[in-house]
Structure 1
Amino acid sequence: MTLNNAKVLIIVTNWGIEETELTRPLRDLKAAGAQVTLAAPTLEPCETVQHDRYEGETLTPDALLSDVQAADYDLLVVPGGTCNVDRIRVNKDAITLAQEFAHEGKPIAAICHGAWLLVNAELIAGKTASPCRYIAADIENAGGHYVDRELTVDDTNGWKLITSRKPDDLDAFVGAIKNALAA
């Protein structure tokens, strides 16, 4: 599957991102021909972690969260990592971006804790999602429906939400992103 005209935005903070939940979508989508932009609050290196504990790879962001707009992209990806998402879910630029993607009817893909951002952006109500089990109560309390499966794609409320639980689900998660971009 080639995604030559697809433009993907991945948003993170500068520390605490679960390594494979960032690097797999980033590299797999680029390999399929998509133009992928990594945006963060600062242009300092983004330090990833493995299992929220061990030092991972460091990547350089392409843009500032404050400088990117949903109108310029086809799909938003929110990787997990407990510390990453705990910070990004209170970042006003990240909340605004998520809201803009949803309001423009563009897909949002969130893995593991990534759906926490959608709770704070008030976008999860009426949606079914499969984030990590640690935020199941947050999803339910925000009016969403939590299910424990490797992938959930929900088209309700006028926009597509793609969610997966953990790094073991990345094949299904990245495949669903590719399918959404090819549609």
Structure 2
Amino acid sequence: MRIAFLAAPEGVEQVELTEPWRAVLEAAGAPRLVSTKTGRIQAYHHLDKADTFAVDEDVVTARAGDFDGLVLPGGVANPDFLRTDERAVSFVKDFFDAGKPVAAICHAPWTLVEAGVVRGRTLTSWPSLRTDIRNAGGTWVDEEVKVCTCAPATLITSRKPADLKAFCAAFMTEFRKAAGG
């Protein structure tokens, strides 16, 4: 099971990257860090710099067809940077077009709004995104984790780092289904 993790060069919330990454590894999966630039990304603990992580692939070369699912970690700056990069937005949209599951936590649904994949879906996020989600045609709910099985792709969302255990369990269930296991 190959899972893409999309993060901007700066601004990803570290725990929203590392905990889902660990869940994929524990399921004998192969996580791959995709970014808009090669090299390393800078993670954060809220507003403070944390660790850096090596990028495995650039969005220019990465293809949704090579993966079984996509994880969009949050952090305030991460999805804000991603939604302004046409290649990153296209990469996200390609997962939906291919019917592959996508998991997004915290502020990550901003990128989903930009990709135009929210309309008709029910999802959750950090509360400050509720108006953006509603304006994009989605239904926002305040739940620990929300799995929306609207065709063509399943969307798994959570609100914040405190929801990570439920988030990881939910997306791993959907990723296993997509990978045929």
1:158 aligns with 2:152: yes
Q: Provide the rounded CA distance (Å) in 2 between the counterparts of 1:44 and 1:162.
A: 29
Aligned counterpart in structure 2 of residue 61 of structure 1, from 45, 55, 62 = 55
Report how many residues are paired. 177
2:30 is matched with 35
* Runs of 4+ more than 3 Å apart: none
The residue matched to 1:178 in structure 2 has which SS?
Answer: helix
Question: Which runs of structure 2 are paired with 1:128-167 in the superposition (5 Å)?
Answer: 128-167=122-161
Alignment-mate amino acid for residue 115 of structure 2: A
C-alpha displacement of 1:31: 2.3
After alignment, is 42-51 or 76-85 more displaced? 42-51
Instruction: Report the TM-score, using the length of structure 1 for normalisation.
Output: 0.94
- Give the Cα–Cα distance (whole angstroms) in 2 for the partners of residues 160 and 120 of structure 1: 18
Unaligned runs of 5+ in 2: none
Matches within 5 A, 1:8-47: 8-47=3-42
The partner residue of 1:124 within 86, 109, 118 is: 118
Question: Are the equivalent residues in 2 in contact too, given 1:8–1:76 (CA < 8 A)?
Answer: yes
Task: Compute the TM-score of the two structures, normalised by the length of structure 2.
Answer: 0.95
Counterpart of 1:37 in structure 2: which amino acid?
R
**CA RMSD between the two structures:** 0.9
> What SS does the corresponding residue of 2:22 show, helix, strand or coil?
helix
* Equivalent residue number for residue 74 of structure 2: 80
- Give the secondary-structure state (helix, strand or coil) at the position aligned to 1:157: coil
1:168 paired with 2:157, answer no
Q: Distance in 1 between matches of 2:39 and 2:77?
A: 17
Tell whether the 8 Å contact from 1:126 to 1:157 is kept in structure 2 after alignment. no
Letter in 2 for 1:17: V
Contact 2:23 2:172 in 1 (8 A): no
- Quote the offset at 1:80 in angstroms: 0.3
Give distance in 2, aligned partners of 1:21 and 1:159: 22
Matched residue type, 2:78: N
Question: 5+ unaligned residues in a row in structure 1: which ranges?
Answer: 1-5
| Pairs within 5 Å for 1:91-110 | 91-110=85-104
Contact 2:70–2:95 under 8 Å retained in 1 = yes
Equivalent in the alignment of 1:3: none
One-letter amino acid of the counterpart of residue 70, structure 2: L
